Amino acid sequence: MPVNLATGRACGITALIDFTDPCNAAGPRLRHAFDAPRRLLVARRVEEVAGVLGAAEAAARAGHWCLGGLRYEAAPAFDAALAVHDAPPDAPPLAWFAVHDAPLPWPQQQGEDFAPAYLDWDAPPARAAFEAALARLQRGIAAGEYYQVNHTAAFTGRWRGMPRALFGALRRAQPGGYALWLDMGETQALSVSPELFFDWRAGPDGRGAILTRPMKGTAARGATPADDAAREQALRASPKERAENVMIVDLLRNDLSRIAQVGSVRVPQLLRTQALPAVWQMTSDVQADTRAGTRLADVFAALFPCGSVTGAPKVQAMRAIRALEGGPRGIYCGALGVLRPDPIGGPGAIAATFNVPIRTLELHADRVRCGIGSGIVWGADADAEWREWQAKRAFAERASAPFDLLETLALEGGRLRHRAEHLARLAQAAAHFGYPFDADAVHQRLDALERAHPQGAWRARLLLDARGALQAEAHALAPTATPVLLALADRPFAQAHSEFVRHKTTRRAHYAAFAPQPGSGVFDTLLYNAAGEITEGTFGNVAALLDGRWITPSLSCGLLPGVGRALALRGSQVQEGLLRLQDLPRVQGWAFVNSLRGWLPAQLRMPG
Give catalytic residue positions: 195, 216
Which residues make Cβ contacts (< 8 Å) with residue 247, sequence separation at least 6?
A: 147, 148, 216, 312, 377
φ/ψ of 518, rounded to 5, equals: -55, 140
Q: At what angle do helices 296-303 and 49-61 cross, to 10 degrees?
A: 130
Round to whole Å and give the CA distance between 372 and 305: 16
Rg (CA), the chain: 27
The two counts, helices (H) then strands (E), for the chain are 14, 31
CB atoms within 10 A of CB 112: 15
Round to whole Å and give the CA distance between 236 and 414: 51
Round to whole Å and give the CA distance between 215 and 197: 9
Round to whole Å and give the CA distance between 314 and 306: 9
* Angle, CA of 2, 4 and 8, to the nearest 5°: 105
* Angle, CA of 358, 222 and 387, to the nearest 5°: 50
Round to whole Å and give the CA distance between 63 and 347: 9
Q: Would you list the DSSP string of 202-259?
A: E-TTS-EEEEE--EEEEEEPPSSHHHHHHHHHHHHH-HHHHHHHHHHHHHHHHHHTTT
Round to whole Å and give the CA distance between 332 and 321: 14
Cis peptide leading into 105, omega within 30 of 0?
A: no
Which helix or strand (DSSP H or E) is residue 66 part of?
Answer: strand 65-70
* Angle, CA of 172, 508 and 359, to the nearest 5°: 30
Strand 524-526, strand 484-488: pairing? parallel
Round to whole Å and give the CA distance between 377 and 362: 28
Which residues make Cβ contacts (< 8 Å) with residue 517, sequence separation at least 6?
A: none
Measured between its terminal Cα atoms, the distance across the chain in Å is 67
Classify each residue of 44-63 as buried b or exposed e, where b means 16 or more C-beta atoms within 10 Å of its C-beta: eebebbbebbebbbbbbbee
Round to whole Å and give the CA distance between 39 and 33: 16
Question: Residue 226: exposed, middle, or buried by beta-carbon count in 10 A (0-12, 13-18, 19+)?
Answer: exposed
